Amino acid sequence: MHGRRPTKNPHAEAEQFRRRAALGFVVVVLSLAGLAAWYFKLQVLDHADYATRSEANRIRPRPVVPARGMIYDRQGRLLAENLPAFRLDITPDKAGDTERLLAELGALIPLSEDEIEHFRNERRAGRGFRPITLKLRLSDEEMAVFAVNRWRFPGVEMEPYLTRHYPYGDLFAHVIGYVGRIDEQDLEQLGQGGSALTHIGKTGVERAYEELLRGKVGYERVETNVQGRALRTLGRVPAVPGADLRLSIDAELQRATVAAFGELEGTAVAMDPRSGQILALVSLPSYDANLFVNGISHADYRALMDNPSRPQFNRAVLGGVAPGSTLKPFLALAGLDSGVRKPEDRTLSTGMFYLPGNSRGWGDSHRGGHGWTDARKSIADSVNTYYYQLALDMGIARVEEYLTRYGFGQPSGIDLAGEIGGILPSPAWKMKQRKERWYPGDTVNISIGQGDWKVTPLQMVRGTGALADDGRLRRPHLVDARRDRFDAPWLPLTQPAPVLISDRPDHLQVVREGMVATVHGPGGTARAMGVGAPYRIAGKTGTAQVVSRRGTAAINPRSLPIHLRHRALFIGYAPAEDPQIAVAVAVEGGGYGGSTAAPIARAIFDAWLLGTPPEGMEPVDGPAPAGMPVDCAAEGPGCMAPDAAATSRVPAATPDADASGATPPARGARR
């Protein structure tokens, strides 16, 4: 017998359905409420945060590197310019496997070992989100190849930039210097704002005026797509371009100075004694500054470093030599100003000078001596004995005092980094450096510019300019003016007031007369350089010994290997009656100043005063004479036609009747 089936309870089932429906409804309502709350949080509470993130993904700030300021010479010739170029930048965080990327890129675009090594070093030292430059200055072919294959390389961008270029190559390498790629040390000095820059001034004017030339970095807001490619620019804070600089250097005089040296090595500095403006500054041999702009190759760098003549060494700023007899005009002035000597006081030169009780003698420039010698003759004929006795009578303390006043033993203050102060020998210096006391023989040695002396050509030309300009010792400088925009006026840079080295014009005149007699007098050591000159020259020759003599026997420098020969020196100014240019020349291995350095100085004088370049040198931009102002209206004050300007520099003068060829100096002469 079958049991009966249970009967349904419709009320219970309905109640159960209602409960389940209510529960489902509650769940749905809670879910919707939670979703609404989450949407509220996203859209309202966290709106600012997510909007910022979204904007950051779509719009990115990008630094705008300012154009570096241009550099011109006094005539407006462009010495340092900016050329448009493209580079390859890699952002490591977006690029993935950088080693694989380098291999694939290298198959399309030639990459040198130097470039790859530089990238790896920057990758290890830098942060992944910062772009790293892989290759600078892409060629047109390389840009086309990358543009076609750009989709294959995420995180790699071809960026436009301005690269530095020096049109004159090696002519101004030691003046302008060069810019180079920024390294970690540069970034530490520049701070966070410097991360957008790729280059910074390393040497010369580029380094000394880095802040002016660099300008200020700007920023722009760039809209990008999901791949990070730029779509458009939404806003910009413009960069401030660097200031342009105008140098006092004249490119034609610079070329003439280099040509005057020929195959010789050394340095020369030309300065306007009335203002301290540097007209030419040459250090030979030189090098092409363009090699360093985008990273010099190992081969080129090794070639420079292996060159025994050290092309990168700036002899005018860092090189020091004994002044030799070029010191004599300054010591003569010190003797007069100190009251130890009067212009008419005379000293007997017999050919050898001995200290009491000392058998070792000091020779004169002529074995037979010069006879009775006053201040003027001591300079013109380069009489050593006069200065041996003068220094002993003054005492080393007074010698040091006056020569310090003339600018020796201290930097000249030129606007180039790293200038040395040289060495002005003194008892304190000798005790500190050698732990030895000072002897009278040391005083005798330094009186003719030998011994432990070290002076730079800048110190020499600065002191010479002071003698020419009535005793006013000025700061030599290269940068004459600046402008902040290409259409803005040039603003002259303020220079410090000159320092007066002597308050006795009559004493200065005695020294100047002696320097004029050096070139135009009957016994002058530089008579040959004055032959045929339509203007009068004041000067002084000198020879800095590299090796000392053997006992009392003098050494003929021409008998020595070139690297052991004496350095030939000359200082002077012209025209003697109205000085407009002062020069200092130092020739390495040149032998004697009168026969080697003086002709170079004459060529510099002729180029500046007469507009006559050395033989074989063609003007680079026409026959306009040197020294004309840049921004000069035809009728403006201080402006004149080219012919008038050239004529005004050279007062009428008749060549000295006694200015015949100079006889070779006797052995052991220090001229």
Tracing tokens 């072919």 back to the chain, one arrives at: 141
| φ, ψ (nearest 5 deg) of residue 270 | -115, 135
DSSP letter at 574 equals: E
Closest CA to 297 of 116, 437, 150: 116
Q: How many angstroms separate the CA atoms of 541 and 6, rounded?
A: 138
B/e letters for 413-433, b = 16+ CB within 10 Å, e = fewer, are: bbbbbebbbbbbbbbeebeee
Known active-site residue 325: yes
Element (H, E) at 134: strand 132-135
Closest CA to 531 of 462, 602, 475: 602
Give the strand pairing for 218-224 and 230-237. antiparallel
309, 152 in Cβ contact below 8 A? no
111, 104 in Cβ contact below 8 A? no
What SS3 class is residue 84? strand
End-to-end CA distance of the chain: 151
Cα separations in angstroms, 68 against 75, 109, 133, 296: 20, 28, 19, 21
Helices (H) and strands (E) in the chain, counts: 23, 23
The alpha-helical segments, DSSP class H, found in 262-312 are 290-293, 298-306
What SS3 class is residue 515? helix
What is the length of the chain?
671
Q: How many angstroms separate the CA atoms of 141 and 151, rounded?
A: 18
Marked catalytic residue, from 248, 325, 378, 382: 325
What SS3 class is residue 643? helix
The token pair that represents 123 in the structure block: 């990758």
The token pair that represents 80 in the structure block: 């340092």
SS (H, E, C) 358-384: CCCEEECCCCCCCEEECHHHHHHCCCH
Per DSSP, the residues of 26-37 read HHHHHHHHHHHH
Task: Write the single-letter amino acid at 323.
Answer: P
Q: How many angstroms separate the CA atoms of 52 and 47, rounded?
A: 8
Q: How many angstroms separate the CA atoms of 248 and 258, rounded?
A: 17
Residues 6+ apart with CB under 8 A from 29: none
478, 278 in Cβ contact below 8 A? yes
If one counts every other C-beta atom within 10 angstroms of the C-beta of residue 139, the result is: 12
289, 300 in Cβ contact below 8 A? no
Q: How many angstroms separate the CA atoms of 664 and 116, rounded?
A: 59
Residues acting as catalytic residues:
325
